[in-house]
């Protein structure tokens, strides 16, 4: 890859990050740091180009002349737009404009709503929300904690297995899975939990799902390109096992802190939630070492196209 191709890829990623109209600084900063870690120069000028509104998808797409780079740009944009688990109408329009600019065939439009195979994803949040009761009880429901512990374990194994799959887009299933885990736990305690509430809980403990997902996905994609093209992109190659361990621990901790939050009737303060999350992360890291074999077995099942979802 040459410097112009680096810039084009980075520009498309940053345009995708702001395509929802929110201009999320966290997403932009995470992308910028990830690109810099791979030795991509000129990120400051790329950021300025995007911020000033002078960057166009058509011009950036034209700079990517090989099918591999065009596919990478398309996957990067899909990953960024799907990072928070919800695709907005503005992001859909952006992705269609990009698909046309890249000259991707019409069948790629189907990837906008289903970027990974259905067996790699949990039920969408819209389906979960439709099944919620109309009212939230004033007092918590006594949930089956042993069953919830198993739900958390299965979700952590499944999320970590996605990190081990060779399909780059597979990791886009992680954020919906984590949001669904929060919703399932809240429902078990009798609470109504939509995607917004789930995200708020995780933001409270300092876990920005969008930034986390973008960093992990972009590193995998850029690491793949580094292996193919080199060109100085060597600083950020990710070891799949390391990513799996981190994802397992994060998912485990998300489940544990959600269980504490809803069991308390949502009465814990921020400091308590943060402390519980930090402790659960340590427990999750230790649990991964015990369950590494289960994660690898789940990855083999998913890679073979089996259902195996939580």
pLDDT higher than threshold 80 for residue 101: yes
Look at residue 306 in the predicted model and tell me its pLDDT.
Answer: 55
Say what the pLDDT of residue 283 is.
96
Q: How confident is the model at residue 289 (pLDDT cuts 50, 70, 90)?
A: very high
Cα Rg of the chain, angstroms: 20
Q: What is the pLDDT of residue 120?
A: 58
Eight-class DSSP state of 2: -
Count of beta carbons in the 10 Å neighbourhood of residue 161: 27
Place 85 in a pLDDT band, splitting at 50, 70 and 90.
low
Higher local confidence (pLDDT), 223 or 11:
11
Tokens of 299: 């990855």
Least confident of 167-176, 178-187, 292-301: 167-176
Residues 67-91 have a mean pLDDT of 85
Distance between start and end Cα atoms, the chain: 40
Angle at the Cα of 79 from the Cα atoms of 213 and 219, rounded to 5 degrees: 60
Distance CA 305, CA 267 (A): 42
- Give pLDDT, residue 139: 52
Predicted pLDDT at 258: 93
* Minimum mean pLDDT range among 32-41, 100-109, 136-145, 271-280: 136-145
What percent of the chain shows pLDDT beyond 70? 78
Residue 131's pLDDT is: 44
Question: In whole angstroms, what is the distance from residue 224 CA to residue 70 CA?
Answer: 14
Top pLDDT among 274 and 209 is at 274
Nearest of 170, 180, 172, 179 to residue 302 by alpha carbon: 170
Per-residue DSSP letters for 211-261? Answer: HHHHHHHHHHHHHHHHHHH-TT--TTPPPHHHHHHHHHHHHHHHHHHHHHH
The number of beta carbons lying within 10 Å of the beta carbon of residue 11 is 25
Reported as a single tens digit per residue, the pLDDT across 108-164 is 888 787 666 555 555 554 544 444 444 444 455 667 888 999 999 999 999 999 888
- pLDDT at position 179 is 83
User: Torsion angle, CA of 188/194/197/202, rounded to 10 degrees?
Assistant: 70
Cα–Cα distance, 222 to 12 (Å, whole number): 14
- In percent, the amount of the chain with pLDDT more than 90 equals 33
Please count the residues of the chain: 310
Alpha helices in the chain (DSSP H): 3-17, 25-37, 43-51, 57-62, 67-81, 89-102, 125-130, 145-164, 174-188, 195-204, 209-229, 240-263, 270-303
Tens-place pLDDT, residues 183-231: 889 888 888 887 778 878 877 776 665 566 677 777 777 776 765 555 4
């Amino acid at each position: 890859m040459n410097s112009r191709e680096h810039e084009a890829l980075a520009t498309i990623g940053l345009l995708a990050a702001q395509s929802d109209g929110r201009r999320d600084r966290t997403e932009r900063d995470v992308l910028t740091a990830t690109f810099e870690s791979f030795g991509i120069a000129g990120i400051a000028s790329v950021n300025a180009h995007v911020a000033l509104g002078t960057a166009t998808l058509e011009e950036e797409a034209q700079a990517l002349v090989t099918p591999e780079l065009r596919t990478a740009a398309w996957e990067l944009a899909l990953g960024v737009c799907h990072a928070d688990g919800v695709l907005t109408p503005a992001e859909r329009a952006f992705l269609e404009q990009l698909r046309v600019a890249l000259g991707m065939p019409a069948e790629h439009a189907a990837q906008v709503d289903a970027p990974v195979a259905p067996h790699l994803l949990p039920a969408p949040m819209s389906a979960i929300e439709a099944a919620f009761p109309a009212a939230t009880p004033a007092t918590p429901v006594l949930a089956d904690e042993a069953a919830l512990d198993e739900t958390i374990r299965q979700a952590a194994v499944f999320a970590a297995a996605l990190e081990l799959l060779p399909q780059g887009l597979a990791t886009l299933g992680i954020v919906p899975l984590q949001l669904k885990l929060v919703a399932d736990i809240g429902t078990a305690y009798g609470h109504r939990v939509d995607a917004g509430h789930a995200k708020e809980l995780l933001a409270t403990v300092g876990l920005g799902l969008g930034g986390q997902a973008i960093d992990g996905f972009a590193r995998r994609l850029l690491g793949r390109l580094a292996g193919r093209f080199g060109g100085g992109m060597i600083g950020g190659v990710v070891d799949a096992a390391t990513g799996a361990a981190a994802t397992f621990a994060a998912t485990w901790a998300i489940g544990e802190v959600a269980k504490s939050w809803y069991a308390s009737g949502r009465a814990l303060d921020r400091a308590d939630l943060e402390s519980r999350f930090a402790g659960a992360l340590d427990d999750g890291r230790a649990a991964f070492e015990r369950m590494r074999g289960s994660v690898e077995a789940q990855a083999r099942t998913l890679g073979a196209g089996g259902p195996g979802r939580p």
